Chain A
Amino acid sequence: MIVELGHFALVLALLAALSQSFFGLVGPAKGQASWMAAVRPAVYAQFALTSVALAALVYAFVQNDFSVLYVASNSNSALPLLYRVSAVWGAHEGSLLLWSWILVGWALAVALLSRSLPVEFAARVLGVMGLISVGFLLFTLATSNPFERLWPAPPDGRDLNPLLQDPALAAHPPMLYAGYVGFAVAFAFACAAMIEGKLDQQWARWMRPWTTVAWAFLTVGIGLGSWWAYYELGWGGYWFWDPVENASFMPWLIGTALIHSLAVTEKRGLFKSWTLLLAILAFSLSLLGTFLVRSGVLVSVHSFAADPTRGLFILAFLVVVIGGALTLYAWRAPVLKSNAGFEFTSRESFLLFNNILLVVATAAVFAGTMAPLIADSLGLGTLSVGRQYFDPVFLLPTLPLIALAAVGSHSLWKKGRLRERRTGILVALGAAALLTAVLVLAVWEGAKVLTPIGFLVGGWLLFSALVDPIDRWRRRLSMTPAILGMTIAHASLGFFVISVTAVESYTRERDIALAVGESGTVGEFKYELRSLEFVEGPNYDALRGEIAVSESGVPISLLHPEKRNYWVQRQQMTEAGIDMQWSRDVFAALGEDLGAGRWSVRAQVRPLINYVWLAALLMAIGGIVAALDRRYRRRGEAT
């Protein structure tokens, strides 16, 4: 009954979305004030209805209603409550519903916070968001209905994939979607501006906080996914250039470019059509990411079931959205010219290079991600592109980008007078050189070619970002949230580069064969298998090892890796034993029984790896702080 109610609410939500887009787009065109006034109530109705639908599905999971096909395929009565809730978005149908709900959530936020915007403009923004909603709700109802019944109902469900039974992964999809879908707001702002044929600095000021918050969510979402892959898949790294990782990374890169290009549009009224294009591109890549993951065209951990109708629907939707927006762009962008010049070493030109490098990096990732698909569809053979391609082509534009950021964040708008800030920049560079020397010569020994370069540019950005705040603090000047946010984000990016460099340069890893009582060495570390015993969890049993790790004879960690057997899916899972220390992770994962009492053990020691994710989190916090700047909350007087 509740389930049917949810289904019905979803159908009604589609109707609300249709009226939202109709009133929002036709109302301003016809100049009908009463139509435009109907847009907000339509958003409220759509939000209430999709919330009912989502709540109904959560209810079905919590109540173990296995007469619902989706619940029966993704849950089990032995599944802990937290994972019964997160199983709602554990597979295709439910995650689409979550997508739609988050989209309406963003629309609701826009509806509530856009009272200071001109009525027509706000109506158009919400109208465009309504159209996107229509597309996704239609998709859900037509091809992936989570409320479908199963008769006769099975006594118990197939269980949630054990890999997904994890707290970080419970939070990963909502965060990621909040980012993906948040770019829909930027997209809607861009479309509304193009329809109106008016794009001023005020427009950029409205759009900036939305874009930055969406970007922050996406940052956290990608970070959580990467963290999960590290400790749950037992892959033991933070990034694998897996196609689905790339699918979420491309909108992030373009979103980063968009944030910076918007700064120029807001402050100087430049880069207008470029900003529009980036806004369209960011959301298009979000949709493409959804398509790549959902259609099953990619060979990846994430995409297992291939369903051609679903793929076709998203592809058609993609063509309509991207094609429509680009047509609008080709028609309208020439109207939105910017007329102002800037000097070569001004902030504008640094941000221009920032954008070019980010777009080049995105293009390189895009080429590597799509090449296997294109080669396959043209019958050129099945190929795969790995890190041997991605690492160099990604670092080529991004290393200069980091160095550019270290200098460019000190440049001035319009004027090319870098000389006045030269001391600060050079002091930061000197400090970075010192840090590099200390890290390479004293803390860790040895280095690869890129090690000093990574430490140097990372350190340069980190220290350079701190110059301005220290200067302000000494002169007792105030810091706006915008500047504080930028400082946090840039400093964490520098910190991120340092951590990644350390992980890539100084990781010790080896697969060793150990019997109880035996030990093996990994660099200066010694792994000793103390015991193996059987333990039982709520829905699995496991073999649990105890491994003592010592460094040059000094004991440093006691690890408890597990090999789990989940009862329902009869799937074997590796639960790595990880000791998080302040400067490194000591890691062990059990492989398999090698015979003769021995087990294979994957042993790794990775310095600074947790700071990779911490830096990503700090970057996102920087974005949120910047979005809270007071100037975004002032009532919009025209400039």
Chain B
Amino acid sequence: MTPRQRRIALVVGILAGVSVAGLLALSAFRDNVMFFFDPSQVAAGEAPIDKRFRLGGMVRPGTVEREAGSLDMSFVVTDFQRDVKVVYTGVVPDLFRENQGVVAHGHLGNDGIFVADEILAKHDENYMPPEVAEAIKSKHGGVMPVDPDPRKAKPET
């Protein structure tokens, strides 16, 4: 091969490699991205049945139940319009509590109960995940039922 041919081969090889990587990334992306839904959307049947997604809203007061001494628990996530029951087994984060914002990862069973494998509640008692705040705000005519104090919110590094 002449140096020129070799250079062309190199460029073609690199382009081919990069496009293969791009295609693989794209398919990994399509298969593994999780969408966010609020209880109203779930009630309207917009959420997928067979695929994992993120469910977000407030923990409805008085709905957190657990059998004493067991890791199995359930609670109701609400956006003050519709409710979705969530079941979960394991340790919940420190800031999980009633009337606070929560995001659950998992899938929806045929019975309409959300089976969570991960519960997120962020690290500030007044913090609400922005997507939850947005979902709730849009249902309350722009008024937040619980006001997260912006001066209080913190840690950044």
Q: Which A residues have a C-beta under 8 Å from some C-beta of B? A: 73-74, 89-92, 95, 158, 161, 163-164, 169, 172-173, 176, 225, 233, 244, 293-294, 299, 301-306, 341, 344, 349, 356, 360, 364, 367-368, 371, 381-386, 388-389, 392-393, 396-397, 511-513, 515, 569-574, 589, 591-592, 594-598, 600-602
Contacts and interface: CB of A to CB of B under 8 A. Distances in A.
Contact of A91 (B3, B14, B70, B154): B154
Contacts of B92: 591-592
B43 interface: no
A302 B153 CA distance: 10
B29 A572 contact: no
Given A161-B155, A302-B155, A511-B91, A356 B18 contact: yes
Nearest to A73: B151
A282 to B, nearest CB: 20
Contacts of A594: 66, 68-71
Contact of B155 (A163, A392, A573, A589): A163
Interface stretch (B75-83, B126-134, B139-147): B126-134
Contacts of A597: 69
Contacts of A574: 94
B95 interface: yes
Contact of B156 (A91, A341, A344, A384): A91
B34 interface: yes
B157 A382 contact: no
B21 interface: yes
25 contacts: A95-B156, A161-B124, A164-B155, A176-B157, A233-B123, A303-B156, A304-B127, A304-B153, A305-B154, A344-B6, A344-B10, A349-B10, A356-B18, A364-B21, A364-B25, A367-B25, A382-B54, A385-B34, A388-B32, A393-B24, A396-B25, A511-B90, A572-B94, A591-B92, A592-B91
A570 B125 contact: yes
A513 B68 CA distance: 10
Given A163-B123, A592-B91, A301 B155 contact: yes
Contacts of A598: 68-70
Contacts of B151: 73, 305
A457 B122 CA distance: 38
Contacts of A341: 3
Nearest to B20: A396
Interface size class of chain B, counting residues whose CB lies under 8 Å from the partner chain? 35 or more
A96 B130 CA distance: 24
Interface of B: 3, 6, 10, 14, 17-18, 21, 24-25, 28-29, 31-36, 54, 66, 68-71, 89-92, 94-95, 122-125, 127, 129-131, 134, 150-157
B77 to A, nearest CB: 15
B125 to A, nearest CB: 6
Nearest to B150: A305
B14 A356 contact: yes
Nearest to B135: A382
A293 B130 CA distance: 15
A92 B69 contact: no
A296 B70 CA distance: 38
B34 A172 contact: no
Contacts of A172: 157
Contacts of A303: 156
Nearest to A221: B157
A303 B24 CA distance: 31
B127 A396 contact: no
A301 B95 CA distance: 13
A211 B6 CA distance: 33
Contacts of A356: 14, 17-18
A381 B54 CA distance: 12
Nearest to A570: B125
B71 A511 contact: yes
A596 B155 contact: no
B157 A299 contact: no
Nearest to A172: B157
B44 to A, nearest CB: 14
Contact of A367 (B29, B35, B95): B29
A513 B70 contact: yes
A163 to B, nearest CB: 6
Nearest to A169: B157
Contacts of A305: 150-151, 153-154, 156
A571 B125 contact: yes
B156 A293 contact: yes
Given A368-B29, A396-B25, A594-B68, 4 more contacts: A158-B152, A163-B123, A169-B157, A594-B70
A368 B123 CA distance: 23
Contacts of B6: 344
